[in-house]
Structure 1
Amino acid sequence: MKATFFTIFTLFLFLACKKESSAKLNDWQIISENVQFKDEGNVFHLKSGKFDYTVPMAKLPFKKVILLNASLVGYFTELNSEQNIIGISSPEYVYSKKVQQMISDGKIQNVGNEQKYNLEKIIALKPDVIFTNYIASFENTYDLIKKNGIEIIFLDEYLEQNPLEKLKYLVLFGKLFNREKKAVAHFEIIEKRYDSLKTVAKKSVNKPVVLANEMYGNQWFLPGGKSNLAQFISDANATYINAGSLDSKAIPMSFEEVFAKAQKAEYWVNIGNHVNKKELLQINQNYTKLPVFNDGKLYTVNGREVSKSNDYFESGVVRADLVLKDYIKIFHPELLPNYQLTYLRELK
């Protein structure tokens, strides 16, 4: 009897410990495989890539931020948190009219660019935090900033290949800037719209073949089959010519290699910021050999572009639903008869 009781008691303890361990693991808010965070008492924990951060809750919410890559601006505009930005690098790449006005008014300072950051200005601004992509060659710059008591958080959102996981960074920013309820609400709305649009796209029995990107020099950097663009094309119910690739990055190929893959392509998307097809040919006359160039439809990503800034890479990072809607409109126009393209534009 005692042996039976001991066995049951031991099993109970094991299950209780296992449940507690599982609960601790589940405390983490998962953004993606690369990013997760959790509250633990008076401390906020963040894992981002190979970096771990421990921020006292007393320092949150952050109030003053410097952004060293413009692609993060979209998260702040979505949350109406532009007022938290006090400095930004390469401001010429920012599309947001509100942020550009704040730069003109001196409310947001230009802190240089990747060739040369203005460290004196960055330190003088005394931001609560700096967000940037991690670049190994800038380690000395990062160390100098940290020695001046400034927190640097590395967020490589550009590495995220799932559009909804890239969108979900919004929840992290909401947490850090006291916009959590708004961030979660916006994420859920956009996610729901995205999933609904995927369902709409599946109504078409036609799955047109799609070519993407263009040549730079002697190489065509064709997005891999696990890339963000490949996911958009798949969710829009189309067939990407490089879908079979297991790469998440763009793969350098010769024109001949792409030519062989693209024989059945009906659409060519995410071409650079060209004005027309004639201008595109000035880059490479070989394009005339592609059946899609002569008989298909071509689309650039400069539907919302001003000078060097392009909103496809700014608000488009957050508004995954509108990006998907563009691709569905292109591949299956009959499904969205009243919709006008937001980020993409037909090249004629």
Structure 2
Amino acid sequence: LCTNNVYAQSEIKDFLGRDLKINKHVSRILSLTPATTEILYKLGLEKKIVGVTEDCNYPAQAKKKPSVGKFGFINLEKIVSLKPDIIFATYDMKKQLDILKKYNVPLIALKTDNIDSIINNINMVGKITNSQKQASIIEKDFKNRLNKVKEKSKSSKKHTVFYCIWHDPLITAGSQSFIGDMIKIAGGVNIADEIKSSFAKYSIESLISKNPDYIVVPESTYKKINFNLSPWSKLKAIKNKNYFSVNDDLYLRPAPRIIDAIEDLQKRILK
């Protein structure tokens, strides 16, 4: 995406490459991902949100907003009926967002490649919605906390980490993901760092060969794994009980709360 520096004229180049004008005072916002919904609420824009997805569960008030379907499976008719001034989503929804081409509604797709991109997203949404002051406050707090984490990482021993997004097949986070960046910032070494993409399959053989110090697993996946069985039982992280479940929403969303996840991860792997 996605925008040029002409917010004063309320003109943007949107996700679909269209030069569009938007109302300086956006009043009807549609969010198509949980992450963008969290950003909008953090900026204090809840009264302007006219629709979200079924997966938008944080903060709790978001669940009361009209739903346009599940993440990745949006209801076009519902979207049109809500008459949004602007639509926010994330870049990984490209295939789903292409169906909105024929509608003259600005579509802002936020990139989520790393932690810096999340900060940039907050500022971008702030500028577009005239919430720059609140965005600056959020950025300052985020960066202050982030710098403290980075300082602690500098003087700590680096442990190898495997982030198991899914177990069958194994799916993990590569170097081009905010999760991979999170591991690095927290003071860990992502064993899948050689994967130059966001998320990808990972072989059992590579996992056994790399034999990470720590294994991080989202709660929804953790429940499905029997760590007493091979190949898991062969790994030193399992033998040393250095494996743990984490909150899916907190760790898997490129949203403002990711700083909470970074701090939590550091406490667990730098103990």
- With the length of structure 1 as denominator, give the TM-score of the two structures: 0.68
- Compute the displacement of 1:287 (Å): 1.5
Write the letter of the residue equivalent to 2:30: I
Counterpart of 1:208 (choices 159, 170, 175) is: 159
Q: In the aligned structure 2, how far is the partner of 1:330 from the partner of 1:64?
A: 41
Aligned residue number for residue 259 of structure 1: 208
Q: In the aligned structure 2, how far is the partner of 1:61 from the partner of 1:97?
A: 26
Say which SS state the counterpart of residue 109 (structure 1) adopts.
coil
Question: Given that residues 71 and 313 in structure 1 are in contact (C-alpha distance below 8 angstroms), is that contact kept between their aligned partners in structure 2?
Answer: no
Question: Given that residues 38 and 58 in structure 2 are in contact (C-alpha distance below 8 angstroms), is that contact kept between their aligned partners in structure 1?
Answer: no
Q: CA, structure 1 residues 280+324, in 2 after alignment: closer, same or farther (shift >3 Å)?
A: same
Deviation per CA, 1:91-112, whole angstroms, max 9, x where unpaired? 2442311222xx1xxxx21222
Q: In the aligned structure 1, how far is the partner of 2:140 from the partner of 2:10?
A: 26
Mapping of residues 301-316 of structure 1, within 5 Å: 301-302=246-247, 310-314=249-253
Deviation per CA, 1:123-151, whole angstroms, max 9, x where unpaired? 22222122234433663x3145x0xx5x1
Deviation per CA, 1:40-77, whole angstroms, max 9, x where unpaired? 763433465x6243325xx1121111122222111012
Q: Does 1:68 align with 2:6?
A: no
Q: Does 1:184 align with 2:136?
A: yes
Q: In the aligned structure 2, how far is the partner of 1:114 from the partner of 1:201?
A: 35
Say which SS state the counterpart of residue 256 (structure 1) adopts.
helix
Say which SS state the counterpart of residue 270 (structure 1) adopts.
strand
Q: In the aligned structure 2, how far is the partner of 1:214 from the partner of 1:181?
A: 36
Aligned residue number for residue 174 of structure 1: 126
Q: CA, structure 1 residues 51+273, in 2 after alignment: closer, same or farther (shift >3 Å)?
A: same
Question: Given that residues 63 and 128 in structure 1 are in contact (C-alpha distance below 8 angstroms), is that contact kept between their aligned partners in structure 2?
Answer: yes
- Compute the displacement of 1:174 (Å): 1.0
Question: Given that residues 179 and 252 in structure 2 are in contact (C-alpha distance below 8 angstroms), is that contact kept between their aligned partners in structure 1?
Answer: no
Aligned residue number for residue 183 of structure 2: 233
Q: Which runs of 5+ in 1 are unaligned?
A: 1-33, 334-348
Say which SS state the counterpart of residue 187 (structure 2) adopts.
coil
- Compute the displacement of 1:230 (Å): 2.2
Counterpart of 1:142 (choices 93, 100, 104) is: 100
Aligned residue number for residue 21 of structure 1: none
Q: CA, structure 1 residues 321+88, in 2 after alignment: closer, same or farther (shift >3 Å)?
A: closer
Q: Does 1:324 align with 2:262?
A: yes
- Compute the displacement of 1:273 (Å): 2.1
Q: Could you tell which deviates more after superposition, 266-275 or 70-79?
A: 266-275
Aligned residue number for residue 233 of structure 2: 288
Say which SS state the counterpart of residue 171 (structure 1) adopts.
helix
Between the two proteins, the alignment pairs up a number of residues equal to 269
- Compute the displacement of 1:119 (Å): 3.3
Q: CA, structure 1 residues 96+268, in 2 after alignment: closer, same or farther (shift >3 Å)?
A: same
Q: Which runs of 5+ in 2 are unaligned?
A: none
- Compute the displacement of 1:212 (Å): 1.6
Q: CA, structure 1 residues 115+161, in 2 after alignment: closer, same or farther (shift >3 Å)?
A: closer
Measured on the aligned residues, the alpha-carbon RMSD in Å equals 2.8
- With the length of structure 2 as denominator, give the TM-score of the two structures: 0.85
Say which SS state the counterpart of residue 110 (structure 1) adopts.
coil
Say which SS state the counterpart of residue 140 (structure 2) adopts.
helix
- Compute the displacement of 1:86 (Å): 0.9
Counterpart of 2:49 (choices 68, 80, 85) is: 85
Say which SS state the counterpart of residue 162 (structure 2) adopts.
strand
